[in-house]
């Protein structure tokens, strides 16, 4: 048996569960050796769920980073903690996987990228859309020329609102639905277009009383960003917290010779009608009664399994991840989000002064 990547997972809530599922399907090359959580019972419950018997549990992530003998630290914490934990792990000589967004501020994101470069470790950015099988097939169709030259892309991630208390305030999240949800389509389109955006114009609901529905949410509950790219392509990115019925991940790509419509979350081959309701149908569905399309292997179809395997393969070889999944790519997605906030606040179109400069 070959060497396995030893992983410390920092966090034991929603994102950690998603990542542990992926690691459970990568046991040939990855071993989760420790996990942290303020609530140790919650952490132990996750380990039991995934059959991890020889895994240490810590309630202090800084202590874990110092003590655990590992190759990779996987950060599954609220947004505002990404920077602090990443810097500590990188300085400890570990590769880092960081969930989206890379950080809450561009300055913190830059510090993470610069620290990784300084210490000679890899910073991996967990954008799962880039491993969604449906989107990878769509990219293959584009590359074979089946829809001609893409000229317009429309992409959105929407649901009815975050379950996390940390997503309710800008201090902890960095914004509203744009940084929390819109970061996915932004990251995907930036990867597809090699980061060569030329200008953007954005509009958001405004937060608190200006929101469409969530009047106590500090960040926006609706956002839209129009982007243009160096190759002439235009794109519209939308995110919102006003969509009932479950998570919506929808991408439309229009070309000179055809078009593509991709639905990641509601493309199940199962259609069910239930009077008492199912235990689960799809992420963020408020009810499961009546007609529904229960997800099949949802976390695989969202890209988590192949994303984690890719990071493990890269860590084994001490290599960068592919474009869209490096720290610099997460930084660019974060930069675009904050420029979109500036555009919406000031009512201006922002030109990309860095066009042609690719990290």
Q: What is the CATH number of the domain that holds 341?
A: 3.30.360.10
Specify whether 156 is located in the same domain as 119: no
Q: List the chain residues with pLDDT less than 50.
A: 357-359
Residues 319 and 232 in one domain: no
Residue 166 and residue 277 in one domain: yes
Residues 114 and 251 in one domain: no
Domain, as residue range, for 71 = 5-127+304-325
Position 358 in a domain: no
**311 occurs within a structural domain:** yes
Count: domains in the chain? 2
Reduce the secondary structure of the chain to three states and give it as a string: CCCCEEEEEECCCHHHHHHHHHHHCCCCCEEEEEEECCCHHHHHHHHHHCCCCCCEEECCHHHHHHHCCCCEEEECCCHHHHHHHHHHHHHCCCEEEEECCCCCCHHHHHHHHHHHHHHCCCEEEECHHHHCHHHHHHHHHHHCCCCCCEEEEEEEEECCCCCCHHHHCHHHHCCCHHHHHHHHHHHHHHHHCCCCEEEEEEEECCCHHHCCCCCCCCCCCEEEEEEEECCCCEEEEEEECCCCCCCEEEEEEEECCEEEEEECCCCCCCCEEECCCCCCCCCCCCCCCEEECCCCCHHHHCCHHHHHHHHHHHHHHCCCCCCCCEHHHHHHHHHHHHHHHHHHHHCCCEECCCCCCCC
Within this chain, do residues 191 and 78 fall inside the same structural domain, yes or no?
Answer: no
Q: What is the pLDDT of residue 1?
A: 52
Specify the pLDDT at position 359: 46
pLDDT at 356: 55
Measure the CA–CA gap between 175 and 169, rounded to whole angstroms.
Answer: 7
The verdict on residue 55 lying in a domain is yes
Whether 212 and 310 map to the same domain: the answer is: no
Tokens 């400890």 locate to 92
- Given a contact cutoff of 8 angstroms between Cβ atoms, the answer to whether 82 and 103 are in contact is yes
| Residue 356 is assigned to a structural domain of this protein | no
Domain co-membership, 140 together with 223:
yes
Please tell me whether residues 163 and 215 are part of one structural domain: yes
- The verdict on residue 359 lying in a domain is no
Residues 206, 346 within the same domain: yes
Q: Classify residue 189: in a domain, yes or no.
A: yes
Model's pTM, two decimal places?
0.96
Distance CA 346, CA 343 (A): 5
**Tokens standing for 32?**
């989760």
Give domain status of residue 61, yes or no.
yes
Instruction: Give the domain CATH number at 320.
Output: 3.40.50.720
Residues 28 and 81 grouped into a single domain: yes
Tell whether 357 is covered by a domain.
no
Same domain assignment for residues 266 and 287:
yes
Q: Are residues 103 and 159 in the same domain?
A: no
* Strands 272-274 and 290-292, sheet pairing: antiparallel
């Amino acid at each position: 048996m070959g060497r396995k990547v030893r992983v410390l997972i920092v966090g034991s809530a929603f994102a950690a569960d998603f990542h542990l599922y992926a690691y459970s399907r990568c046991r040939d090359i990855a071993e989760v050796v420790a996990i942290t959580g303020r609530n140790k019972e919650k952490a132990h419950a996750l380990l039991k769920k995934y059959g991890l018997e020889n895994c240490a549990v810590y309630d202090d992530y800084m202590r874990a980073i110092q003590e655990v003998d590992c190759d990779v630290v996987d950060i599954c914490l609220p947004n505002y903690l990404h920077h602090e934990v990443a810097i500590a792990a990188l300085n400890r000589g570990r590769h880092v996987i960081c969930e989206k967004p890379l950080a809450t501020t561009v300055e913190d994101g830059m510090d993470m990228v610069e620290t990784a470069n300084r210490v000679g470790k890899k910073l991996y950015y967990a954008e799962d859309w880039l491993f969604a099988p449906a989107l990878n097939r769509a990219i293959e169709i584009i590359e074979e020329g089946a829809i001609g030259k893409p000229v317009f892309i429309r992409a959105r991630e929407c649901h009815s609102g975050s379950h996390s208390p940390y997503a309710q305030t800008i201090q902890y999240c960095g914004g509203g639905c744009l940084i929390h949800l819109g970061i996915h389509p932004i990251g995907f389109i930036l990867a597809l277009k090699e980061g060569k955006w030329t200008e953007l114009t954005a509009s958001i609901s405004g937060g608190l009383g200006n929101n469409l529905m969530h009047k106590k949410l500090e960040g926006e509950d609706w956002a839209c960003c129009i982007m243009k790219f160096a190759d002439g392509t235009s794109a519209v990115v939308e995110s919102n917290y006003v969509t009932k019925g479950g998570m919506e991940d929808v991408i439309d790509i229009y070309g000179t010779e055809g078009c593509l419509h991709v639905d990641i979350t509601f493309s199940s081959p199962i259609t069910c009608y239930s009077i008492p309701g199912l235990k689960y149908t799809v992420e963020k569905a408020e009810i499961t009664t009546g007609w529904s399309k229960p997800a099949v292997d949802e976390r695989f179809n969202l890209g988590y399994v192949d994303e984690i395997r890719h990071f493990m393969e890269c860590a084994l070889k001490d290599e960068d991840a592919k474009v869209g999944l490096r720290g610099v790519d997460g930084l660019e997605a974060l930069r675009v989000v904050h420029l979109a906030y500036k555009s919406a606040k000031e009512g201006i179109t922002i030109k990309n002064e860095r066009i042609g400069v690719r990290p």
